[in-house]
């Protein structure tokens, strides 16, 4: 059995990850205020606070927030989206990254570039900004949020035929994966990360 601490920025993720845990024992820390404070950039005070929290924990730590991922990794945590980006690079490009928060764009594309570079491949990345949909998530309209993501991604794929796979950049977007009309792989970070870290199906 794996003991794993997860750091979230939304309460809704607790149940989602518990459902993916298998026999693993999960501990959850939920800090929506960290994402709120990071929207305009991570200042020194927030950096110190998050680093101290991660470093006081024992055992493996998984950060499920894409915006905070780089900072969490530097403090010793695993980034939720790293196993997903590795899987996307293995499939090869062009990879379409869909994201709903501007603060995740650079973090996600940089991480995917790193995964391609680790394999000695040239990074072929396309981005699909869906920032207008984020208000649905914050309002608790998760079904509408996922349906709208699926509609936009499906439409984008219909216009660009040679895409190899889709990456849903944020954990909050995972529910859209099954709704996207495509035969190519659609990768969502929660399932890929939990399989990688715990062996859970």
Please answer whether residues 162 and 94 qualify as being in contact, where contact means their C-beta atoms are separated by less than 8 angstroms.
yes
CATH code assigned to 82-198: 3.40.50.1860
What pLDDT was estimated at residue 200?
56
How far is residue 57's CA from residue 164's CA, in Å, rounded to a whole number?
38
Please tell me the pTM assigned to this model.
0.82
C-alpha of 201 from chain center: 18
Place of tokens 């601490």: 5
Structural contact between residues 85 and 43, judged by C-beta atoms closer than 8 angstroms:
no
pLDDT average, residue stretch 49-71: 92
Task: Compute the average pLDDT of residues 155-179.
Answer: 93
**Residue 89: pLDDT over 60:** yes
> What pLDDT shows up at residue 1?
46
**C-beta separation of 29 from 8 below 8 A:** yes
Residues facing residue 167 across a β-bridge = 97, 187
Enter the tokens of residue 153.
């991604």
126: left (phi over 0), alpha (psi -120 to 50) or beta: beta
Residue 36 pLDDT greater than 60, yes or no: yes
Task: Kindly state the average pLDDT of the residues 47-76.
Answer: 92
**What is the rounded distance in angstroms from the CA atom of residue 166 to the CA atom of residue 148?**
15
The mean pLDDT value for 105-118 works out to 93
Sketch the domain layout of the chain as residue ranges: 3-79, 82-198
Give φ, ψ of 6 to 5 degrees. -110, 135
Cα of 116 vs its chain's centroid, Å: 17
Q: Taking 70 as the threshold, does the pLDDT of residue 201 lie above it?
A: no
Cα–Cα distance measured from residue 152 to residue 165, given in angstroms and rounded to the nearest whole number: 15
Question: Can you tell me the distance from the alpha carbon of 173 to that of 84, in angstroms, rounded to the nearest whole number?
Answer: 13
Beta bridge partners of 183: none
- DSSP structure class, residue 75: T
Determine how many CB atoms are found less than 10 A away from the CB of residue 78: 20
Give residue 16's pLDDT: 87
- Topology agreement, domain 3-79 and domain 82-198: yes
Residue range 113-122: mean pLDDT, rounded: 95
What's the pLDDT at 193? Answer: 85
Q: Judge whether residue 117 has pLDDT over 50.
A: yes
Q: What is the CATH number of domain 3-79?
A: 3.40.50
């Amino acid at each position: 059995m794996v003991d794993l601490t997860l750091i979230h920025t939304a309460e809704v993720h607790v149940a989602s990850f518990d459902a993916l845990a298998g026999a693993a024992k999960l501990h959850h820390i939920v800090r929506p205020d960290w994402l709120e404070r990071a929207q305009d950039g991570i200042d020194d005070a927030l950096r110190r606070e998050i680093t101290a929290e991660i470093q006081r924990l024992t055992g493996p730590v998984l950060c499920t927030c894409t915006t905070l991922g780089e900072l969490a990794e530097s403090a010793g945590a695993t980034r939720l989206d790293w196993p997903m980006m590795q899987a996307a690079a293995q499939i090869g490009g062009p990879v379409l990254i869909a994201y709903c928060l501007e603060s995740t764009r650079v973090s996600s594309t940089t991480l995917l570039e790193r995964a391609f570079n680790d394999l000695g491949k040239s990074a072929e990345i396309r981005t699909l900004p869906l920032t207008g949909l984020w208000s649905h998530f914050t309002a608790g309209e998760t079904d509408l949020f996922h349906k709208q993501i699926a509609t936009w991604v499906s439409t984008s794929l219909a216009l660009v035929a040679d895409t190899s796979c889709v990456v849903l950049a944020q954990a909050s977007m995972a529910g859209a994966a099954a709704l996207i009309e495509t035969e190519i792989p659609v990768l969502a970070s929660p399932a890929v990360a939990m399989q990688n870290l715990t062996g859970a199906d």
